[in-house]
Amino acid sequence: MAVREARLTGEAHAVAAMRRVLDVMREETTAPIVNPQRSLGGLIGGEAKLVDATGNNDLSSSLMGAVQTEAVARAMAVLERSATMGVIVAAPTAGSAGVVPGCVLALADHLPLDDEQVMDADHLPLDDEQVMDALYCAAAIGLNLTTSACVAGAEGGCQAEVGSAAAMAAAALVQMLGGTPEQALDASSIALSNLLGLVCDPVGGLVEVPCQNRNAIGVAAAFSSAQLALAGIKSLVPFDQMAHVVLSVGHALPATLRETAKGGIAQAPAALSACAKCGVCG
């Protein structure tokens, strides 16, 4: 993917563009944790900080672990940044923008995973170039899904957004941990299969609820899919076929479950009540 971008725009421009992406991702995954703000719709704001606060206590060690807890907090932070009209990197969309940076940056910051690990050539913290390579890996998966399937909730439901983001992140995690390209594709395929059929039903049509929590679930899917692939578990359905499955399932979803806010969670009484109070629609 890096070679493709360099050929399209020139190497210097491609590197500068990806470095800009990395810088913005670092900002958007951390600033909302330090300084939470309520969203324009008033439905989210401060959740990322709450999750982050559990990173070093028994709740984290008993459930997600330190790295995944940080990844979830940082992913949720991106949705808060988006909902307050801040700058984000759509990866591949605004509604799924937290999964890739949350996963990639949390893991990068925790490598080596053990402070007592020998700091040899195989266990050095990742530098920016390696992190950008992981983002290029994620981008390659996203490009394939954009051309072979879909990444828009209006076309394919949330499986096309958070599902695609989880697939992108899973491949990046595999690469960061020394896996093979085949394992990266297996991880992507597993992630897609586990989120297949996920509907898009934003409350009030806002990218707030359930979008923020679904980014957290996308992180969990990416982590588990990467670990399965690295453990040697293969996906029965290869990635290219899984992309076509996502497209066909997405097109089979009724319009009410594809970003119209006319079905699913968006039509629950509590959601309708919250929507009526937000005031965004006047």
pLDDT for 96? 98
More confident site: 208 or 120: 208
Place of tokens 């594809």: 258
- Which percentage of the chain shows pLDDT scores above 70? 94
CA–CA separation, 183 and 226 (whole Å): 8
- Assess contact for 72 and 220: CB atoms under 8 A: yes
Q: Could you give the CA distance from residue 233 to residue 243 in angstroms, rounded to a whole number?
A: 19
Per-residue model confidence as pLDDT tens digits over 227-262: 999 999 999 999 999 999 999 999 999 999 999 999
38: which 2 tokens?
């309520």
Q: Which residues pair with 258 in a beta bridge?
A: 200
Q: How far lies 281's CA from each of 80, 200, 271, 275, 276, in Å?
A: 19, 20, 15, 9, 9
pLDDT at 276: 84
What pLDDT does 118 receive? 45
B/e letters for 218-256, b = 16+ CB within 10 Å, e = fewer, are: bbbbbbbbbbbbbeeeebeeebeebbebbbebbeebeee
Token pair 């998966």: residue: 141
Which of residues 217 and 8 earns the better pLDDT score?
217
Quick one: three-class SS letters along 64-113?
Answer: CCHHHHHHHHHHHHHHHHHHCCCCCCCCCCCCCCCHHHHHHHHHHHHCCC
Asked if residues 24 and 89 have their Cβ atoms less than 8 Å apart, the reply is yes
Chain mean pLDDT for the chain: 94
- For 78-105, what is each residue's pLDDT tens digit? 999 999 999 999 999 999 999 999 999 9
User: Which percentage of the chain shows pLDDT scores above 90?
Assistant: 87
Tens of pLDDT along 33-69?
A: 999 999 999 999 999 999 999 998 999 999 999 999 9
For residues 166 and 262, the answer to whether their CB atoms sit within 8 Å is no
Residue that has been written with the tokens 């999750």 in this structure: 51
- Kindly report the pTM of this predicted structure: 0.94
Neighbours of 94 (CB within 10 A): 18
List, for residues 113-156, the tens digit of each pLDDT value.
Answer: 554 544 444 556 789 999 999 999 999 999 999 999 999 999 99
- For residue 270, pLDDT beyond 70: yes
Rounded mean pLDDT, 171-179 = 97
Residue of 199, 224, 214 lying closest to 162 (CA atoms): 214
Q: What is the largest CA-CA distance in the chain?
A: 60
